[in-house]
Amino acid sequence: MNKSKYITILFFIITISIFSPIKAHAIETFNNINEPAITNIILRSKSSFNVTLSRVSDVDGYYIYNIEDDGSLTLLKTVNDNYTSHVTLKGMTYGRSYRLTVKAYKLSENGEIITSNYDPNGITKKLNVSTRYKKGLKYYYDADGKIIKDVEHFLPKKRKYMIKVNTKKCVVTVYAKDGRKGYRIPVKSFICSPGKYTSSGTFTVGEKYRYRSLFYNSYSQWTAVIHGNILFHTTPYKSYGNNNSLDVAEYNKLGTPASHGCIRLQCEAVKWIYDNCKRGTKVVIYRSKNSGPFGKPKFAKLPKWHKWDPTDPTAIKKCQKHNCKHL
């Protein structure tokens, strides 16, 4: 090769090296297993994260690791199934930064554990919380400056709450008391279905019922009286005490006015009120164009065959059996 050709080739290589963009980590297949991913990390408390996984097919479970400074992996949790997308990591150290990654695994015919590849960059999250006031409310922020939209586990266990129901935007927001400043801590929010003519006003939580008959041969789980015949209750079921008889068409109306005046909620939400809000808890029903401090929660409709509420803790095995994507 003459000198001029050598210089030309060398210049081409240098140009490609300098001006080509750095590629992000590519999703790979290793041992015939697709590589899973961590898609989101949310602070749950001062000692735990909620982690969302992107699942892959034909595996038996997942290993969640922390990537140490030297690149080695420390196992944090084993998920022994392939239907869980949302995982809680407990026992974490407050103030520490974690770099999380995940491998999928499956058992071979001879009992050998085969694992997928993993993202060596991971997702970094620092377990640190700060608070600040905005428009009179006290918000909790993570280390990235994002508002934490469920702060229940950052508060003392014995805490009094107030419930506000925005019937215009179909959102229920729970507030906790901030000392003598009143109920200024937004705790969590739920999507709901009020009635078109649900009355505004200030009321208190009354009697509670594990199961309750509603109008027109429909039934509810975890019911709490607001006033008179106005209740917090689940979306209707067609059979009393049967969590596999959900009226799917009515469930899919959540987020819109659909009841006869009551406040319909998903099972997880109304059960939380049932478990955590004592009789006498203040309930404020109002109308506003403002969805509230956390906005309106996202909601996914169900197919017709899904005859149970996906947030119902008593029906979790049904979702596992059908490998529901929302898990």
Ramachandran angles phi, psi of 218, nearest 5°: -120, 165
State whether 223 and 154 are in the same domain. Answer: yes
The CATH number of the domain where 271 resides is what?
2.40.440.10
State whether 116 and 189 are in the same domain. Answer: no
Question: Is 190 inside any structural domain?
Answer: yes
How many Cα neighbours within 13 Å face the side chain of 264? 25
Q: How far apart are CA 261 and CA 21, in angstroms?
A: 58
| pLDDT tens profile 247-267 | 999 999 999 999 999 999 999
Regions of the chain where pLDDT drops below 70: 1-30, 325-327
| pLDDT tens profile 10-20 | 343 333 333 33
- Residue type, position 306, single letter: H
Q: How far apart are CA 37 and CA 56, in angstroms?
A: 9
Burial status of residue 170 (CB atoms within 10 A of its CB: 0-12, 13-18, 19 or more): buried
The CATH number of the domain where 52 resides is what?
2.60.40.10
State whether 177 and 279 are in the same domain. Answer: yes
Contacts with 148 (C-beta within 8 Å, 6 or more apart), sequence order: 42, 43, 129, 139, 140, 141, 142, 154
CB 256 within 8 A of CB 167: no
State whether 209 and 122 are in the same domain. Answer: no
Instruction: Compute how many other C-beta atoms are within 10 angstroms of the C-beta atom of residue 137.
Output: 16
Kindly report the pTM of this predicted structure. 0.85
What helix, strand, coil percent values describe the chain, rounded to 5? 15, 40, 45
Q: Which of 103, 126, 149 marks a domain boundary?
A: 126
| Structural domain boundaries, residue 88 | 29-126
Q: What length is written for the chain?
A: 327
User: Which candidate, 223, 218, 242, 249, places its Cα nearest to that of 234?
Assistant: 223
Total domains, the chain: 2
State whether 254 and 295 are in the same domain. Answer: yes
Q: Which residues are catalytic?
A: 233, 262
List the alpha helices (DSSP H) in the chain. Answer: 3-19, 248-251, 267-276, 316-322
User: Which candidate, 233, 146, 241, places its Cα nearest to that of 190?
Assistant: 233
Question: Is 10 inside any structural domain?
Answer: no
Q: What is the pLDDT of residue 77?
A: 96
Q: How far apart are CA 9 and CA 290, in angstroms?
A: 63
Ramachandran angles phi, psi of 155, nearest 5°: -105, 160
Q: How far apart are CA 66 and CA 189, in angstroms?
A: 31
State whether 212 and 235 are in the same domain. Answer: yes
Q: Which of 110, 126, 142 marks a domain boundary?
A: 126
Q: What is the pLDDT of residue 30?
A: 65
State whether 250 and 272 are in the same domain. Answer: yes
Q: What is the pLDDT of residue 22?
A: 32
Ramachandran angles phi, psi of 7, nearest 5°: -65, -40
Q: How far apart are CA 262 and CA 231, in angstroms?
A: 5
